[in-house]
Amino acid sequence: MKSSKLLIAVVAAASTLFVALSARAEFTCELSFPSAPQTALENFPVLVRLANDAPTGFSYADCPTASCIWFTDENNDTLPFDVDTWNASGESLVWVSVPSFSSSTTITMHWSSDAGSVEDSPAAREVWTRAGYNAVWHFSGSNAESVNGLNA
């Protein structure tokens, strides 16, 4: 009788662990740029457009806020990114700093239902300072949505 109670306790603990692991699912998608130049551009800001199933497999249901995403290069190094627009019911625009951008470049987009999945993520301003910009303004129509002053 004791062994069956122990088995039930182990199964219950395993089920709880499975639920906890399932709640923090991580998703990935490889992004490539076949139309990019063959000669590499250094520290190039690349625009990534997001919408449900764009890129394939991406879902706002799995990634409710911009703090749920991050990007890595071929060496699994975290890349700086700047969220221009986050629209969970439409298209989101994210600029990613790619260290060496060419037609053979691939980066990986990661997302999770867990907000703040990446600790020590590079600052958004690095997207622009690495590319040599002094300031960047994101505009929509005639109104400024956000200003990213880099010398502040």
What is the reported pLDDT for 124? 87
Cβ neighbours around 22 below 10 Å, total: 9
Least confident of 25-39, 46-60, 76-90, 120-134: 120-134
Is residue 13 pLDDT above 60, yes or no?
no
What is the reported pLDDT for 23? 45
pLDDT tens by residue, 102-144:
999 999 999 988 765 455 567 888 999 999 988 877 776 544 4
95-130 burial code (b ≥16 CB/10 A, e <16): bbbbbebeeebebebbbbbeeebbeebbebbbbbbb
- pLDDT band (50, 70, 90) for residue 11: very low
